[in-house]
Amino acid sequence: MSNLVAPHGKEEKLMPLLLEGDELKAETEKAKSLKQIKITSKESSNLVMMGIGAFTPLTGFMTKADWQRVCDNMALTDGIFWPVPVTLSTDDEEVKAGDELALVDDDTGTIMATIQVSEKYSIDKEHECKSVYTTTDAEHPGVVKVMAQPKYNLAGPVKVLSEGVYPEEFKGVYQRPAESRKIFEDLGWTRVAALQLRNPMHRSHEFLAKIAVEVMDGVYIHQLLGKLKAGDIPADVRVKAIQALVDNWFVEGTVVQGGFPMEMLYAGPREALLHAVFRQNYGCSHLIVGRDHAGVGDYYGPFDAQKIFDKIPEGALKCQNLNIDWTFHCYKCGGMASMRTCPHGKDDRLLLSGTIVRKTLSEGGELPAEFSRPEVVKILQDYYQSLDEKVEIKLHGAATGDVKK
């Protein structure tokens, strides 16, 4: 009997949809004869999340009723909590309910899964954007993806045939929930806090993790391995930088680094809830929620992702939020501090953010020693020096501190 938090859903067990052995071989052969539908990298990554059980208890892409209820009430029609739609889109006019299709990744040509279509429907894209992202602004990267979706959504159960590039490209970091759970159990951990990352760890990230280490059995440094927006640092560089930090600045046995096969939604508060859902499946009892969790630009308040956990029904999630206030280096305190521990003013504080790290290094600037560990800075400098083209990185209020708390 595991002492870890139970997986999400009524069954309280992992429900991976990835086929294996003879069943996988037979379905893969069958898929070659089916009508093919091309899918986006976002849809492919969602399939992999369902395949490995990270999206337990989903069994496929959502129906219109599920889509509507998730948008409006953050729950599936059976009442299970779920904060973000997981849908499949097509502009194929001929596809109909009852069809069996092969789903092919548009980038790689890999057959990712088969689907038994139960429903074909259209949605109000603006409604999804307002519900999930709180905006219909065409500059928001999540809104861009929703508005670019084809005309129809297809619902139905899926059989997942492939994990895509993740097992090979991110060998040693990419993990399935069953694997992370075994690691935690072998370490004797019960209370595990996940640290969500899409950037290399700067000193504020390190501080968050070390606060959690003090009150938890261990911390799962869990980073996104899917596609990011322009200007973000690629996953392979991030993995190397994080490992350098773990090896040199953490006590052995207090942290584990892992990766998950998903793209950022930049949905702020709603995405924080989704992060808690699938971290529960990975075996985490807590999710560290700091400043501007899963945010982008100035679309969300810096602590909206913390506040939303107070608005969901009691018992909706077993993975709890571990809220930590805005952290920074305080010159008067002589080290890292937070808004709750530092009595000094703005002029005494060095605010740290991944956006500032990326902007400074991409422009060839030097980071203050208080910003990031030297081993990490060296890896990032080498990366930026290797780039032929630079992407302009804009600072926003959540990065500079020019927002109301």
What DSSP string runs through 210-249?
A: HHHHHHSSEEEEEEE-S---TTSPPHHHHHHHHHHHHHHH
pLDDT band of 356, cuts 50, 70, 90: confident
Task: Write out the CATH class of domain 21-164.
Answer: alpha beta
Which residue shows structure tokens 């950022």? Answer: 264
281 part of the active site:
no
Question: Model pTM?
Answer: 0.93
Query: How far is 218 from 213, CA to CA, in rounded Å?
Result: 6
Distance of CA 159 to the CA centre of its chain: 23
What are the tens digits of pLDDT across the range 287-325?
A: 999 999 999 999 999 999 999 999 999 999 999 999 999
- Say if residues 67 and 122 touch (Cβ distance below 8 Å): no
388 or 56, greater pLDDT: 56
d(CA 155, CA 158): 9
Contact by Cβ (8 Å): 323, 287:
no
Report the top-level CATH class of 169-260+264-400: alpha beta
Mean pLDDT value of segment 377-400: 71
> Is the model's pLDDT at 405 over the cut of 50?
no
Stretch (H or E) spanning 196 = strand 192-197
Question: Which pLDDT band holds residue 16 (cuts at 50, 70, 90)?
Answer: very high
> pLDDT of 56-111, one tens digit each?
999 999 999 999 999 999 999 999 999 999 999 999 999 999 999 999 999 999 99
Among 69, 176, 198, 349, the one annotated catalytic: 198
Is the pLDDT at 130 greater than 60, yes or no? yes
Average pLDDT estimate for 158-166: 97
Domain(s) of CATH 3.10.400.10: residues in the chain: 21-164
- Alpha-carbon distance 295 to 213, whole Å? 24
Of 40, 45, 62, 50, whose CA–CA distance to 155 is shortest? 62
- Reported as a pLDDT band with limits 50, 70 and 90, residue 392 is low
Name the pLDDT band for 404 (thresholds 50, 70, 90): very low
Q: Which of 69, 153, 191, 199 is catalytic?
A: 199
Give yes or no: 199 in active site.
Answer: yes
How many whole angstroms separate alpha carbon 291 and alpha carbon 288?
Answer: 10
Looking at residue 394, what is its pLDDT?
56
CATH 3.40.50.620 domain span(s) along the chain: 169-260+264-400
